Amino acid sequence: MNPDAKATAPAFLDETAGNSPIRSITPPLARREPLEHVIHDDRRVDHYAWLRQKENPEVIAYLESENAYTDAVLEPTQALQETLYQEMLGRILQTDVSVPYGLRGYLYFTATEEGKQYPVHCRRFATEGSLDEVLLDLNRLAEGHAFLGLGAFDVTDDNHLLAYALDTTGFRQYTLQIKNLWSGELFPQKMERVTSAAWAADNRTLFYTVEDETTKRSHRLYRHIVGSGEPDALIYEEADERFRLEIERTRSGAFLLLTIASHTTTEVRFLAASQPLGEFRFIAPREAEHEYHVDHHPNPLTRENRGTNPFDTGGYFLIRTNSGGRTFRLVSAPVADPRRSKWREIVGNRPDVMIAGLDTFRSHLVLLEREGGLPYLRIVDLSLEAPNALAASHRIEMPEAAYNAALGNNPEFDADFVRFQYESFVTPRSVFDYDVRTREREVRKVQPVLGGYDAAQYVIERLHVPVPTEEAVKDALADQGGATRDSATDSRLGVTRVPISVVYRRDTPRDGTAPLLLYGYGSYGISMPLSFSSNRLSLLNRGVIYAVAHIRGGGELGKPWHDGGRLHKKRNTFHDFIAAAEYLIAGGYTSAQKLVIEGGSAGGLLMGATANMRPDLFRMVISHVPFVDVLNTMLDASLPLTVGEYEEWGDPRIADDYFYMKSYCPYTNLEAKDYPTMLVKTGLNDSQVMYWEPAKYVSKLRALKTDTNPLLFKINMGAGHGGASGRYDYLREIALDYAFLLTELGVRE
């Protein structure tokens, strides 16, 4: 196909296009309007840049035509979509209550009611027999809106005022208000574009951060005094566009922490919560590549300060820092003088164990560790006399070989137990209270799965795929005079072992005939948890295997795992995913004709890159809000995913970075060749990956691809990056994905 053949088409639809073999429905084709880019002496022509014009009726008409086309193609699957929706709905206890958590004499919880999209936030006195008090009914607040998201939610120490922030568009632009919980009245002030908020100890001073209107970078800290009538004071403004702000209060209640962070560097400032008119002070000034995170304790690792006033400005800061190793270590510093020369090591760096989180309580600490691709919760008992913190610690034992564990709601500093959540591919999410002294655990709740779910019918496996590094492959091929990479080349190279987590029904065949859905992400150091999903049972029960590839660029094996898949090592992410797919095929889990891949956001980049690299390896691609126009986005500093992201992807104003990004950018590397079946989804109000990225990608792919495989584009015109906000609407979205997948693979009931 001549790439310029349709450049002069006058309308957004190209009526000259031949009929699609998909049920004889003609797909829309966006018109082409060339826009030339030249940088580093490299010329690119973008024919679909005009789709960025969100206010242009022609753009909206094009998006609506894509929705109409997708709806028409999927019309025969409506009955299956309804079946799947009812199945998934039938497994959910629609009227339910969360496990209450205690805070300053109250028990806080959320409640859902059958037929209502959103939870209701409530509290009651901790004394027996007290009545429930509704704090926020999100269903009422959602009236008149297609979307509702809750951001900040913080109550004053005297339990009187609630600061909360709502997003009604999906653009993640939150408006904060203050509610008098005793009278039910709202204060008239509204703070726009709020990203975080925290109360001081005086019950009337609120600190909050706001974002820039265009780039959505959280860049300013304000102080609001309830009832003062004075304009809110600007306390701090961050000029460096790589850095974003967050304000929070320590669990001890003693300090407010302002964290100023890029993807690779952190700076924390602190202010006594009892002195809200004071000046924020440094923990340690920012240094390139130094990341650290802070909590507070009146006197860690000793028993002398039991009963200390939590608003005492003494004590120590506990600091999780990557100084001394990429997998972090734990140090303490006196509040009176927290500069780095005063830091004292508590837990040293362990190269194979990532300290991924820290939570501080009066009687104990909780470290979130990652080792071997799995999370662990380590309890450091501060009542024990021991030569070091590790000797006074133990891990909470987990019953399965592959799982996810995380700290639950634990706001009380004086709690003598740890609430944590546990789940796996086959074990529903469970909430436990763990006694630090006796090491006994109490089950507080197991997520109900209605309809007779039996975990014994399903199998979890943990696989490890040997993958050579991109650098090793490149060197080996150079030694061979530029030969093509093959298994013989791989066998001679040092390899990385990439974990894959797999789940399937016991009666699913392992002879290569089963369909398999492989999920991947691999960016920002984010770990893909082994979460339970009752919705996923609708696939497993139809013989579909589900797998997650824990590829480099993610955080499953700590910060070095992230380092191995970012900047000029980003292509390792794609090699890992392709190797995982080949490994599953070779092991008889599936075949290329039955393999479906799925990812979203930066995982959508993964989908686009691997589909370009190995379109023959996959039958189908499901791509949610995909980051596929890497070069154009990273060259536009006005967008949210740009300046701050240079530390993840590189800066294309630098020639080496530009050409490396160009080598994998999905949009740039689309070609006239066969591609797998695709379902691409986005939200018109997405603030993280703008809708036009997938719109441009689909438009260009339609014009280039030489196959007759379905290419569907579904746009939620009233949501953003996370899709539908209502729980029933969200189930409808999943039912559509599953129905298309099952129909295209020919999976019958």
Q: Which residues are catalytic?
A: 601, 686, 721
Instruction: Measure the CA–CA gap between 228 and 161, rounded to whole angstroms.
Output: 15
Instruction: Measure the CA–CA gap between 377 and 359, rounded to whole angstroms.
Output: 10
Tokens 């460096």 sit at which residue?
A: 240
Q: Are 680 and 716 in contact (CB under 8 A)?
A: no
Q: Is 585 helix (H, G, I), strand (E, B) or coil?
A: helix
Instruction: Measure the CA–CA gap between 123 and 102, rounded to whole angstroms.
Output: 9
Copy the structure tokens of residue 71.
């709806």
Instruction: Measure the CA–CA gap between 409 and 99, rounded to whole angstroms.
Output: 9
Tokens 């566009």 sit at which residue?
A: 241
Q: What radius of gyration, in Å, describes the C-alpha atoms of the chain?
A: 27
Q: Which amino acid is at 209?
A: T
Q: Are 167 and 216 in contact (CB under 8 A)?
A: no
Q: Is 606 helix (H, G, I), strand (E, B) or coil?
A: helix
> Kind of pairing, strands 266-272 and 281-284?
antiparallel
Copy the structure tokens of residue 415.
């709690």
Instruction: Measure the CA–CA gap between 322 and 319, rounded to whole angstroms.
Output: 10
Instruction: Measure the CA–CA gap between 433 and 438, rounded to whole angstroms.
Output: 12
Neighbours of 633 (CB within 10 A): 22
Instruction: Measure the CA–CA gap between 662 and 41, rounded to whole angstroms.
Output: 13
Copy the structure tokens of residue 747.
């999976």
Q: Which amino acid is at 272?
A: A
CB neighbour class for 331 (10 Å; exposed up to 12, middle 13-18, buried from 19):
buried
Q: Are 373 and 550 in contact (CB under 8 A)?
A: yes
**Element spanning 733, H or E:** helix 727-745
**Element spanning 659, H or E:** helix 655-664
Instruction: Measure the CA–CA gap between 37 and 31, rounded to whole angstroms.
Output: 19
Neighbours of 746 (CB within 10 A): 8
Instruction: Measure the CA–CA gap between 145 and 149, rounded to whole angstroms.
Output: 11
The single-letter DSSP state of residue 58 is H
Copy the structure tokens of residue 98.
């969360």
Instruction: Measure the CA–CA gap between 382 and 331, rounded to whole angstroms.
Output: 15
Copy the structure tokens of residue 259.
């964290």
DSSP 632-656: HHHT-TTSTTSGGGHHHH--TTSHH
Instruction: Measure the CA–CA gap between 322 and 292, rounded to whole angstroms.
Output: 7
**Element spanning 478, H or E:** helix 470-479
Q: Is 490 helix (H, G, I), strand (E, B) or coil?
A: helix
Tokens 């980049």 sit at which residue?
A: 605
Instruction: Measure the CA–CA gap between 255 and 201, rounded to whole angstroms.
Output: 9
> Between the CA of residue 446 and those of 118, 257, 558, 657, what are the distances in Å?
20, 34, 29, 48
